[in-house]
């Protein structure tokens, strides 16, 4: 084929036109009016949207049925108490709501005073009835049920079906009030180490007495009178308390709704925000509480909590700007990688309060000999477990070296310095030492764990490999129904997780005391029992800490078991959201929601 000059020129022109046009482009903003609308008709603070995994079902997260993370988080934004817990797990006074002071240490007497003009979002004052109801639900004062071995109630009744325990306020007498009802005085039978945790913002027990009264079909005064006049419960002589029962029934059930209730009085709030919209199973929207009188005035106009169950979907919603914050419950390497690669999103990481641990069953024959216990624990490759399972997710994680404290707590360092765990059981296994202790014996260790949890399965495999090098025979008791078997006790070693509450001392007696509800491995040491009981009545924090250090030391000395690691945690936060800080406990990212702002 031949081209004449004209064709060639045309071709050249076409080619250069194409090349030129490659630099040019079509479209683009037609004017300078990009920044229109602002926050779109709302105030100036903007909106922040948080992705959550579970769906909202109740504003009363303290009941047994609705005691789940998201309910607690929503509740935290619409209720205030005398204290809250900060990201270093310190109990912080919330003086905007009220103040308290110890009047006497023996008997422990504390005076709580609500600040002036504290009120609910509907204008009703936070007053004597609210305090009384709050105390009534948390103390279990009226309970007079007798339960059988199987757990059935034989006589009497328990009022207010709360998920938490009545432990802290259990030992208080009927509160006394000042003339104006704003001051309540509580007196404990015996000192209680955790007294400061009672009546806190995050306990979820506070509900508006005037609304509860209305739901129970009585006036607020009647409610107050009913609670004040009903005598303390005595299982030996149970009695009928129809009013208290009505109140408890209202408290248990009225606040459970997964969509906007027809009676909006159920939504009243004394916290910085108030619920203004609920879309069933999808979202809860909170707006600023106009009547809020406390110190934690919110920065943003609205906070929306969205339910997105699938973590990939959460990540893509974060990328698409549909949510500003995501805080997944369980964090995998995959999630971590994907979130950290998003432009314009910062990652906050840290340990969660849940921690995995190996417990030796003191009821098992093979572990009667302390040498075998020590030998087995020496073989557990804690560093390797951490390196392979946790480090890929959160780089700066470490082996947990305390039975009583987690790394987020200030006291952790002190515990590690005194409990001797790191010296006795370095993170690397000591196969030689274990073999020496075994002295030719080859005991069989049956390990119980949840076979549906991949991290536990991998941990088990690593332990098995290491222990068999020292001469142990390891038997696999992995089971999806591990929970039932845990209490049955037919195993030698259990591998599972505890969720540390982060504050308080209740776990000491539950887990480590002989016969405690969480003492699945039949551990019994009178010295530890005494220390646990003693710590719980010690008011001085430093003294309490020393006792816990001592207890921690004995637990390692006794070869109770070994803590392994804390689960990794992570928040993904859009960069134009300020004020978010990592928090390990169950309040999670919401712990300082009033400080959030849009940059």
Partner 1 sequence: MLSYVLRRLITAVLILFGASFIVYMMTALSGDPLGDLYGVPNSERLIAARVEALNLDTPPVLRYFDWLGGALGCLAPFAATCDLGVTVEGQQVTGLLAAAVVQTLLLVTAGTVLAIVVGITLGIVSALRQYSGLDYTVTFFTFLCFSLPSFWLAVLLKEFAAISFNNFLLDPVVSWATVLGVSAVVGLGWYVASYGARRTRLLLGATGFVLTAAVLWFLLATDWFQQPALGIPLIALTGVLVAVVATFLLAGLRNRRALYGGLATVGAGLLLYFPVQGLFAQGGLGVVVLLLAATTALGAGIGRLSGGYDRGQNVRVGAVTGLLVMGLVVLDRFMQSWPQYLDHGRIRGRPIATAGSTTPGMSGDFWMTGLDLFTHLLLPTIALTLLALASYSRYSRASMLEIMNQDYVRTARAKGVSERSVVMRHAFRNALIPLATLVAYDIGALIGGAIITEQVFAFTGMGNLFVNSVHNVDPNPVMGVFLVTGIVAMVFNLLADLVYSVLDPRVRVKA
Beta bridge partners of 474: 445
Stretch that binds partner 1, among 291-299, 301-309, 384-392, 394-402 (CB under 8 A): 301-309
Residue 150 binds partner 1 (CB under 8 A): yes
d(CA 419, CA 172) in angstroms, rounded, equals 34
Instruction: Kindly give the interhelix angle for 220-229 and 242-253, rounded to the nearest 10 degrees.
Output: 120
Residue 36 binds partner 1 (CB under 8 A): yes
Residue 599 binds partner 1 (CB under 8 A): no
Cis status of the peptide bond prior to 535, with omega within 30 of 0: no
Stretch that binds partner 1, among 8-16, 90-98, 216-224, 310-318 (CB under 8 A): 310-318
Note whether 145 and 155 are within 8 A (CB): yes
Stretch that binds partner 1, among 160-168, 215-223, 241-249, 397-405 (CB under 8 A): 160-168
Nearest distance in Å: CB 236, partner 1:
22
Residue 14, number of CB atoms within 10 A of its CB:
10
Nearest distance in Å: CB 140, partner 1:
11
Nearest distance in Å: CB 451, partner 1:
11
Residue 213 or 353: the one with the smaller Cβ distance to partner 1 is 353
Residue 151 or 242: the one with the smaller Cβ distance to partner 1 is 151
Q: Which runs of consecutive H residues, i.e. helices, occur in 402-540?
A: 412-419, 421-424, 431-438, 454-469, 482-488, 506-507, 526-535
Burial class (CB in 10 A: 0-12, 13-18, 19+), 191: middle
Q: Is 260 left (phi over 0), alpha (psi -120 to 50) or beta?
A: beta
- 472 is written with which tokens? 């142990």
Residue 106 or 148: the one with the smaller Cβ distance to partner 1 is 148
For partner 1, which residue of 1, 2, 6, 30 counts as binding (CB under 8 A)?
Answer: 30
Q: Could you tell me how many residues of this chain bind partner 1 (CB under 8 A)? A: 81
Nearest distance in Å: CB 25, partner 1:
5
Residue 100 or 590: the one with the smaller Cβ distance to partner 1 is 590
Residue 164 or 443: the one with the smaller Cβ distance to partner 1 is 164
d(CA 139, CA 491) in angstroms, rounded, equals 37
x-marked contacts with partner 1 along 569-588 as a string, rule CB under 8 A: --------------------
Judged by CB under 8 A, the chain residues 442 through 471 that form the site for partner 1 are 450, 452
Residue 589 binds partner 1 (CB under 8 A): no
Handedness of CA 447, 450, 454, 455 (dihedral sign): negative
Judged by CB under 8 A, the chain residues 110 through 129 that form the site for partner 1 are none
CA distances to 79, 134, 135, 511, 530 from 108, rounded to whole Å, are 26, 19, 16, 26, 21
For partner 1, which residue of 1, 5, 26, 101 counts as binding (CB under 8 A)?
Answer: 26
Residue 16 binds partner 1 (CB under 8 A): no
Residue 470 or 548: the one with the smaller Cβ distance to partner 1 is 548
Nearest distance in Å: CB 71, partner 1:
9
Would you call 592 helix, strand, or coil by DSSP?
Answer: helix
Judged by CB under 8 A, the chain residues 473 through 532 that form the site for partner 1 are 480-484, 486, 496-499, 501, 506-507, 510, 517-518
Residue 336 or 434: the one with the smaller Cβ distance to partner 1 is 336
b/e burial code for range 242-274 (CB count within 10 A of at least 16 → b): ebbbbbbbbbbebbbbeebbeeebbbbbbbbbb
d(CA 46, CA 55) in angstroms, rounded, equals 24
Burial class (CB in 10 A: 0-12, 13-18, 19+), 597: middle
Which run of H or E residues covers position 70?
A: helix 69-78
For partner 1, which residue of 106, 148, 262, 320 counts as binding (CB under 8 A)?
Answer: 320
Judged by CB under 8 A, the chain residues 332 through 391 that form the site for partner 1 are 354
Judged by CB under 8 A, the chain residues 41 through 80 that form the site for partner 1 are 41-42, 46-47, 49, 55, 57, 64-68
d(CA 138, CA 170) in angstroms, rounded, equals 8
Residue 237 or 490: the one with the smaller Cβ distance to partner 1 is 490
x-marked contacts with partner 1 along 257-296 as a string, rule CB under 8 A: -xx----------------xx-xxxxxxx-----------
For partner 1, which residue of 154, 310, 428, 527 counts as binding (CB under 8 A)?
Answer: 310
């Amino acid at each position: 084929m031949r081209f004449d000059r004209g064709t060639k020129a045309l071709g050249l022109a076409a080619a250069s036109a194409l090349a030129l046009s490659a630099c040019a482009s079509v479209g683009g903003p037609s004017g300078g009016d990009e920044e229109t609308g602002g926050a779109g008709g709302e105030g100036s603070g903007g909106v922040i949207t948080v992705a959550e995994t579970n769906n909202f079902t109740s504003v009363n997260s303290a009941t047994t049925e609705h005691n789940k993370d998201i309910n607690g988080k929503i509740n935290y934004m619409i209720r205030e108490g005398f204290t809250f817990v900060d990201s270093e797990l310190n109990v912080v006074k919330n003086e905007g709501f009220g103040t308290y002071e110890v009047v006497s240490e023996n008997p422990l007497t504390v005076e709580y005073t609500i600040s002036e003009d504290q009120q609910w979002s509907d204008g009703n004052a936070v007053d004597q009835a609210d305090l009384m109801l709050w105390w009534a639900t948390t103390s279990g004062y009226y309970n007079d049920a007798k339960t059988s071995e199987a757990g059935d109630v034989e006589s009497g009744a328990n009022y207010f079906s709360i998920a938490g325990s009545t432990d802290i306020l259990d030992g208080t007498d009927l509160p006394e009030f000042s003339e104006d009802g704003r001051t309540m005085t509580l007196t404990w039978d015996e000192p209680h180490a955790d007294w400061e945790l009672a009546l806190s913002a995050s306990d979820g027990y506070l509900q508006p007495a005037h609304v509860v009264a209305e739901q129970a079909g009585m006036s607020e005064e009647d409610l107050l009178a009913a609670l004040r006049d009903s005598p303390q419960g005595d299982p030996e002589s149970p009695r009928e308390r129809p009013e208290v029962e009505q109140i408890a029934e209202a408290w248990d059930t009225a606040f459970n709704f997964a969509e906007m209730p027809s009676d909006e009085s159920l939504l009243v709030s004394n916290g910085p925000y108030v619920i203004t919209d609920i879309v069933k199973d999808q979202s809860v929207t909170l707006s600023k509480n106009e009547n809020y009188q406390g110190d934690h005035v919110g920065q943003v106009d609205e906070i929306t909590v969205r339910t997105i169950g699938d973590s990939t979907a959460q990540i893509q919603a974060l990328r698409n700007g549909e949510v500003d914050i995501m805080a997944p419950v369980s964090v995998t390497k995959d999630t971590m990688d994907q979130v950290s690669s998003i432009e314009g999103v910062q990652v906050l990481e840290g340990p969660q309060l849940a921690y995995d641990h190996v417990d030796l069953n003191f009821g098992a024959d093979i572990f009667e000999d302390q040498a075998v216990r020590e030998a087995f624990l020496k073989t557990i490759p804690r560093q390797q477990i951490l390196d392979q399972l946790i480090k890929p997710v959160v780089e700066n994680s470490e082996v947990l070296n305390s039975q009583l404290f987690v790394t987020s707590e200030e006291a952790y360092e002190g515990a590690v310095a005194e409990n001797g765990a790191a010296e006795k059981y370095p993170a690397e296994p000591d196969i030689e030492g274990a073999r020496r202790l075994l002295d030719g014996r080859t005991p069989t260790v049956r390990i119980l764990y949840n076979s549906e949890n991949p991290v536990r399965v991998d941990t088990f495999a690593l332990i098995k490999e290491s222990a068999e090098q020292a001469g142990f025979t390891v038997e696999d008791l992995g089971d999806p129904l591990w929970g039932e078997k845990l209490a049955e006790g037919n195993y030698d070693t259990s591998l599972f997780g505890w969720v540390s509450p982060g504050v308080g001392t209740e776990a000491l007696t539950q887990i480590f005391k002989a016969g405690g509800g969480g003492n699945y491995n039949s551990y019994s040491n009178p010295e530890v029992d005494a220390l646990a009981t003693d710590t719980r009545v010690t008011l001085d924090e430093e003294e309490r800490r020393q006792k816990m250090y001592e207890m921690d030391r004995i637990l390692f000395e006794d070869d109770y078991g070994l803590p392994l690691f804390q689960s990794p945690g992570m928040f993904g936060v859009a960069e134009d959201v300020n004020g978010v800080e990592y928090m390990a406990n169950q309040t999670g990212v919401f712990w300082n929601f009033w400080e959030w702002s849009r940059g």
